[in-house]
């Protein structure tokens, strides 16, 4: 089954199957040891750059900053949701620690 | 690989969108196939329509482009009438009510809660009165800005209006320039005060003298590649070209074509011409313009008047166009403060009455989100100033009211991280009641932008506020980065971001403490901007001192996660959208 993934509105949203699902301005806790020196970076989402899929997991690269130390940048690919029976299901992004992978975007 | 937006544009774009727009309007919002909505919403921008954010589906923002902020007699009334008739929706703003018009920092007008089904009728009314939303948004020539009093400003050295009019008439609807890699923002000004704010535009024509055939001639120097968005602010750069008014369209069109052909269409974040100027350098821009896009020899730059620029410069002289000013013809123009640029529709209509009674019926919009009533003769001035409406829209407001600029924010905008307009109103009111400016300081600019798109032009204010998030007592709250010391003038400077992620309820206290430090440490009668200039970032961060005060902020939570931040039941799924033409919720079939 094909899935339509887009970054829309100049980086404000991740769209999955023509529906806006993930917005800027959220605060995510990340497992991203390469991004900054904080144990668990507290990352504010400022701008989506790209969206992809890893198995059934929807992932995104996003520019933002850690509100604890101020480091800015792109902390790799971050899971934002999953596909279940073809339907998009949100991850609880603000209450779980999200694993960033795939480098620091540089 | 071309972006989705480029692909959509290659299929349908420009003038032809209108036909489709009207068909969808005829058949109703639900007739747009779900899998085509994003493509159509992107295209509708070219006709001035922005689909509002999540939770407000089927409602649109409509931007009306008014070149140079110029509203001819009768047009202000039309703006008030369409706002009253069409700009109402399910959400009521606790400060501004139900129907209002926003004056933007690019001298345009924005209306919200517009229904697609009303667009043909609305366009008909606008166009019958000489107004249009064509190219107000989208990847093309946007509303041209400048000094809105062009032609009648006693401080101007050349009347820029004929050039602006020609550019507007030439490049609005011109298929050769309708699909650019990104937006194209143009400023043309003839006043010596810098009120065109050319430095922050893609293309700036600034007044300049040049010796032509032995005669000192007035025309324009050309600068290219300014802009504030995306943490990549640039001042427009001097490409060493002077142009006579009669050749301005050829040079401006040449540069727009150069951008069309050489701008980056594969990465929208790198698409603005400021990045092409970064890559090429100004000499190459000039060379390519000369070789490929104009068929006459370009003049080198003339003698500019930048040393006279005062607008938004933080020093003496005209920092804005508020107040009473002399026109060339001896009459007066009266600049009225519109706090954060928003006017209720009834107030717009009342002001239209006053413009007819005391002036010519004309009005002008400024880049500081204010409105001007021109053509007021001396003998009517006192009576005009005594009108009740001018108590609210004052020609002599508190500096904190006068200096406030704010973007749309999370009330309607997808990009914004925080609530803005109502917050800036609360800030300004609190500062007016609780903070004294040091002696001799009668201008103080605070700009609040909800995100890095910088629609409120935060980098060119005394105090720059930019939307952010932080945690307070463990909970996510809306926050603001604080920048200081930005401004235009002969040597424009962007604000330095010295304190970041300040919880919004501590921002007024931070400004109060900063101003107290300014008063204490100020040397002589130095300006705020000079004061900031002689301190380093660490020193400034110490002076800001965020602090809770009597200011209370009711919008600390994630306003983006609401369907409308001011609704009693505000959760995303509590709103009525999408709705049909009369506002009835459309229920899903399944």
Q: CATH number, domain at B505?
A: 3.30.413.10
- Whether residues A94 and B476 touch (CB distance < 8 A) is answered with yes
- With a CB cutoff of 8 Å and minimum separation 6, the contacts of B469 are A25, A26, A27, A44, A67, B417, B418, B476, B477, B478, B479, B501, B558
Asked if residue B380 belongs to a domain, the reply is yes
Q: Tell me the C-alpha distance between B65 and B76, whole Å.
A: 13
Q: Which domain holds residue A18?
A: 5-93
- Whether residues A26 and B558 touch (CB distance < 8 A) is answered with yes
Q: Which residues of A touch B558 (CB under 8 A)?
A: 25-26
Q: Which residues of A touch B35 (CB under 8 A)?
A: 4, 18
Asked if residue A104 belongs to a domain, the reply is no
User: Under a CB-based contact definition with an 8 Å cutoff, are residues B374 and B333 in contact?
Assistant: yes
Q: Are residues B377 and B427 in the same domain?
A: no
User: Under a CB-based contact definition with an 8 Å cutoff, are residues B435 and B427 in contact?
Assistant: no
Among partner residues B35, B500, B558, which is closest to A18 by beta-carbon distance?
Answer: B35
Q: Are residues B437 and B379 in the same domain?
A: no
Closest CA to B435 of B506, B502, B516: B516
Q: Tell me the C-alpha distance between B452 and B23, whole Å.
A: 35
Q: Which residue of A has its CA nearest to B52?
A: A9
Q: Are residues B431 and B300 in the same domain?
A: no
Phi and psi angles of residue B211, each rounded to the nearest 5 degrees, phi first: -80, 110
Q: Are residues B449 and B519 in the same domain?
A: yes
Q: Are residues B408 and B538 in the same domain?
A: yes
Q: Which residue of B has its CA nearest to A49?
A: B269
Segment B170-219, tens digit of pLDDT: 999 999 999 999 999 999 999 999 999 999 999 999 999 999 999 999 99
Q: Which residue of A has its CA nearest to B560?
A: A25
Q: What is the DSSP letter of B184?
A: B
Torsion over CA: B377, B378, B382, B383 (sign): negative
Instruction: Give the B-side interface with A, CB within 8 Å.
Output: 4, 34-35, 37-38, 54, 230, 268-269, 410, 414-418, 451-453, 467-471, 476, 479, 500-501, 558, 560
User: Under a CB-based contact definition with an 8 Å cutoff, are residues B432 and B465 in contact?
Assistant: no
Q: Which residues of A touch B470 (CB under 8 A)?
A: 44, 67
Q: Is B15 exposed, middle or buried (0-12, 13-18, 19+ CB in 10 A)?
A: middle
Cβ–Cβ contact A70 with B under 8 A = yes
CA A31 to chain centre: 12
Q: What does the longest C-alpha to C-alpha distance in chain A come to?
A: 42
Chain B interface, best mutation among A7, A15, A17, A25, by max B CB count within 10 A: A25
Q: Are residues B249 and B330 in the same domain?
A: no
- With a CB cutoff of 8 Å and minimum separation 6, the contacts of B569 are none
CA distances from B506 to B272, B462, B481 (A): 35, 18, 11
Q: Locate tokens 């909970």: which residue?
A: B475
Q: Is B300 exposed, middle or buried (0-12, 13-18, 19+ CB in 10 A)?
A: exposed
- Contacts A–B by Cβ distance under 8 A: 63
Q: Tell me the C-alpha distance between B224 and B186, whole Å.
A: 9
Q: Which residues of A touch B471 (CB under 8 A)?
A: 27, 42, 67
In which element (H, E) is residue B402 found? helix B399-402
Chain A interface, best mutation among B51, B228, B409, B414, by max A CB count within 10 A: B414
Q: Are residues B241 and B296 in the same domain?
A: yes
Q: Which residues of A touch B268 (CB under 8 A)?
A: 10
- Whether residues A13 and B476 touch (CB distance < 8 A) is answered with no
Length in residues, chain B: 590
Asked if residue A98 belongs to a domain, the reply is no
Rounded to a whole number, what is the distance in Å from the CA of A19 to chain B's nearest CA? 9
Q: Which residues of B touch A26 (CB under 8 A)?
A: 469, 558
Q: Structural domain tally of chain A?
A: 1
Q: Are residues B493 and B409 in the same domain?
A: yes
- Whether residues B415 and A10 touch (CB distance < 8 A) is answered with yes
Q: Tell me the C-alpha distance between B199 and A105, whole Å.
A: 32
Asked if residue B566 belongs to a domain, the reply is no
Torsion over CA: B510, B511, B512, B517 (sign): positive
Could you list the beta-strand ranges (E) of B78-202.
Answer: 100-103, 109-115, 186-188
- Whether residues A11 and B415 touch (CB distance < 8 A) is answered with yes
Token pair for B453? 């798109």
- Whether residues A67 and B37 touch (CB distance < 8 A) is answered with no
- With a CB cutoff of 8 Å and minimum separation 6, the contacts of B97 are B344
- Whether residues A27 and B469 touch (CB distance < 8 A) is answered with yes
Residue B474: predicted pLDDT: 87
Q: Tell me the C-alpha distance between B504 and B77, whole Å.
A: 37
Asked if residue B147 belongs to a domain, the reply is no
Low-confidence ranges of chain B (pLDDT < 50): 590
Q: Which residues of B touch A18 (CB under 8 A)?
A: 34-35, 37-38
Asked if residue B328 belongs to a domain, the reply is yes
User: Under a CB-based contact definition with an 8 Å cutoff, are residues B543 and B531 in contact?
Assistant: no
Token pair for B462? 């005394």
Q: What is the DSSP letter of B383?
A: H
Q: Are residues B252 and B123 in the same domain?
A: no
Mean pLDDT, 10 residues at a time, over chain A (106 residues)? 83 88 91 92 92 93 92 94 91 87 50
Q: Are residues B248 and B285 in the same domain?
A: yes
- Whether residues B451 and A24 touch (CB distance < 8 A) is answered with yes
What is the helix, strand, coil percentage profile of chain A, to 5?
5, 55, 40
- Three-state SS at B17: helix
- Whether residues A10 and B453 touch (CB distance < 8 A) is answered with yes
Q: Are residues B108 and B180 in the same domain?
A: no
Among partner residues B230, B417, B501, which is closest to A24 by beta-carbon distance?
Answer: B417
Residue B557: predicted pLDDT: 87
Asked if residue A12 belongs to a domain, the reply is yes
- Three-state SS at B411: helix
Length in residues, chain A: 106
Distance in Å from the first CA to the final CA of chain B: 37
Torsion over CA: B33, B39, B41, B47 (sign): negative
Q: Tell me the C-alpha distance between B513 and B546, whole Å.
A: 8
Rounded to a whole number, what is the distance in Å from the CA of B590 to chain A's nearest CA? 15
- Whether residues A13 and B269 touch (CB distance < 8 A) is answered with no
- Whether residues A25 and B471 touch (CB distance < 8 A) is answered with no
CA distances from A68 to B207, B417, B551 (A): 47, 18, 25
Q: Structural domain tally of chain B?
A: 4
Pick left, alpha or beta for residue A102 (phi over 0 → left; psi -120 to 50 → alpha; otherwise beta).
left
- Whether residues A24 and B415 touch (CB distance < 8 A) is answered with yes
Please calculate the CA angle B122-B168-B368 and round it to the nearest 5 degrees: 75
Q: Are residues B374 and B425 in the same domain?
A: no
Residue B314: predicted pLDDT: 94
- Domain closes at, from B280, B308, B336: B308
Torsion over CA: B272, B278, B282, B285 (sign): negative
- Whether residues A47 and B230 touch (CB distance < 8 A) is answered with yes
Chain A interface, best mutation among B415, B477, B572, by max A CB count within 10 A: B415
Asked if residue B144 belongs to a domain, the reply is no
Residue A105: predicted pLDDT: 35
Q: Which residues of A touch B476 (CB under 8 A)?
A: 27, 94
Q: Which domain holds residue B11?
A: 4-128
Q: Tell me the C-alpha distance between B348 and B226, whole Å.
A: 33
Sequence-separated contacts (24+) of B227-231 with Cβ below 8 Å: B227/B185, B227/B200, B227/B201, B227/B202, B227/B272, B227/B274, B228/B200, B228/B454, B228/B457, B228/B458, B228/B459, B228/B460, B228/B494, B229/B272, B229/B452, B229/B453, B229/B454, B230/A47, B230/B269, B230/B452, B230/B453, B231/B452
Q: Which residues of A touch B503 (CB under 8 A)?
A: none
Among partner residues A6, A42, A70, which is closest to B38 by beta-carbon distance?
Answer: A6
User: Under a CB-based contact definition with an 8 Å cutoff, are residues B463 and B484 in contact?
Assistant: yes
Q: Tell me the C-alpha distance between B126 and B109, whole Å.
A: 12
In which element (H, E) is residue A83 found? strand A77-84
Asked if residue A60 belongs to a domain, the reply is yes
- Whether residues B230 and A6 touch (CB distance < 8 A) is answered with no
- Whether residues A6 and B4 touch (CB distance < 8 A) is answered with yes
């Amino acid at each position: 089954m094909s899935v339509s993934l887009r970054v829309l509105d100049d980086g404000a949203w991740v769209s999955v199957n023509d529906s806006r699902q993930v917005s800027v301005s959220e605060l995510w806790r990340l497992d991203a040891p390469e991004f900054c020196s904080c144990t668990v970076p507290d990352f504010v989402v400022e701008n989506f750059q790209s969206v992809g899929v890893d198995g059934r997991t929807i992932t995104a690269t996003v520019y933002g900053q850690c509100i604890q130390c101020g480091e800015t940048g792109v902390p790799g690919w971050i899971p934002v949701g999953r596909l279940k029976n073809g339907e998009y299901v949100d991850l609880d992004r603000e209450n779980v620690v999200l694993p960033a992978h795939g480098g620091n975007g540089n | 690989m071309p972006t989705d937006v480029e692909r959509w544009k290659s299929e349908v774009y420009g003038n032809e969108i209108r036909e489709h727009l009207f068909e969808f309007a005829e058949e109703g919002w639900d007739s747009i196939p779900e899998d085509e909505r994003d493509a159509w919403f992107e295209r509708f921008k070219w006709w001035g329509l922005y689909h509002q954010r999540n939770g407000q589906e089927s409602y649109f923002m409509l931007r009306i482009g008014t070149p140079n902020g110029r509203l001819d007699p009768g047009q202000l009334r039309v703006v008030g009438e369409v706002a009253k008739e069409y700009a109402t929706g399910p959400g009521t703003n606790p400060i501004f009510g139900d129907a209002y018009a926003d004056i933007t920092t690019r001298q345009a007008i924005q209306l919200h809660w517009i229904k697609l089904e009303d667009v043909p009728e609305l366009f008909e009314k606008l166009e019958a009165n000489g107004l249009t939303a064509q190219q107000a948004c989208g990847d093309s020539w946007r509303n041209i800005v400048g000094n809105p009093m062009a032609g009648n400003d006693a401080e101007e050295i050349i009347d820029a209006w004929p050039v602006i009019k020609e550019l507007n008439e030439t490049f609005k609807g011109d298929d050769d320039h309708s699909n650019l890699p990104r937006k194209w923002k143009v400023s043309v000004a003839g006043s010596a005060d810098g009120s065109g704010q050319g430095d922050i535009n893609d293309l700036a024509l600034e007044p300049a003298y040049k010796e032509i055939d032995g005669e000192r001639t007035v025309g324009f120097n050309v600068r290219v590649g300014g802009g504030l968005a995306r943490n990549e602010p640039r001042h427009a750069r001097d490409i060493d070209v002077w142009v006579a008014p009669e050749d301005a369209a050829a040079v401006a069109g040449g540069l727009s074509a150069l951008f069309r052909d050489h701008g980056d269409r594969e990465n929208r974040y790198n698409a603005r011409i400021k990045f092409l100027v970064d890559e090429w350098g100004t000499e190459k821009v000039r060379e390519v313009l000369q070789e490929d896009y104009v068929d006459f020899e370009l003049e080198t730059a003339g003698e500019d008047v930048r040393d006279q620029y005062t607008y938004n410069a933080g020093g003496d002289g005209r920092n804005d166009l508020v107040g009473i000013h002399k026109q060339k013809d001896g009459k007066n123009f009266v600049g009225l403060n519109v706090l954060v640029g928003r006017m209720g529709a009834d107030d717009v209509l009342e002001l239209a009455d006053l413009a007819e009674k005391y002036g010519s019926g004309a009005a002008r919009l400024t880049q500081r989100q204010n409105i001007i009533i021109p053509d007021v003769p001396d003998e009517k001035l006192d009576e005009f100033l005594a009108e009740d409406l001018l108590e609210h829209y004052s020609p002599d407001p508190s500096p904190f009211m006068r200096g406030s600029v704010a973007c749309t924010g999370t009330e309607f905008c997808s990009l914004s991280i925080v609530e803005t307009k109502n917050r800036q109103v609360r800030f300004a009111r609190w500062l007016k009641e609780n903070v004294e400016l040091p002696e001799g300081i009668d201008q103080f600019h605070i700009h609040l932008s909800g995100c890095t798109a910088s629609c409120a032009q935060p980098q060119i204010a005394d105090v720059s506020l930019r939307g952010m998030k932080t945690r307070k007592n463990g909970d996510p709250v809306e926050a603001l980065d604080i920048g200081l010391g930005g401004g235009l003038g002969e040597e424009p400077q962007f604000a330095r971001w010295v304190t970041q992620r300040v919880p919004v309820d501590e921002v007024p206290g931070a400004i109060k403490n900063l101003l107290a430090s300014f008063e204490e440490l100020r040397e002589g009668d130095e300006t705020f901007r000079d004061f900031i200039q002689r301190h380093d970032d660490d020193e400034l961060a110490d002076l800001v001192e965020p602090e809770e005060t009597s200011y209370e902020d009711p919008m600390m939570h994630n306003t983006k996660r609401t369907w409308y931040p001011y609704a009693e039941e505000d959760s995303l799924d509590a709103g009525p959208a999408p709705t049909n033409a009369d506002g009835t919720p459309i229920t899903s079939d399944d």
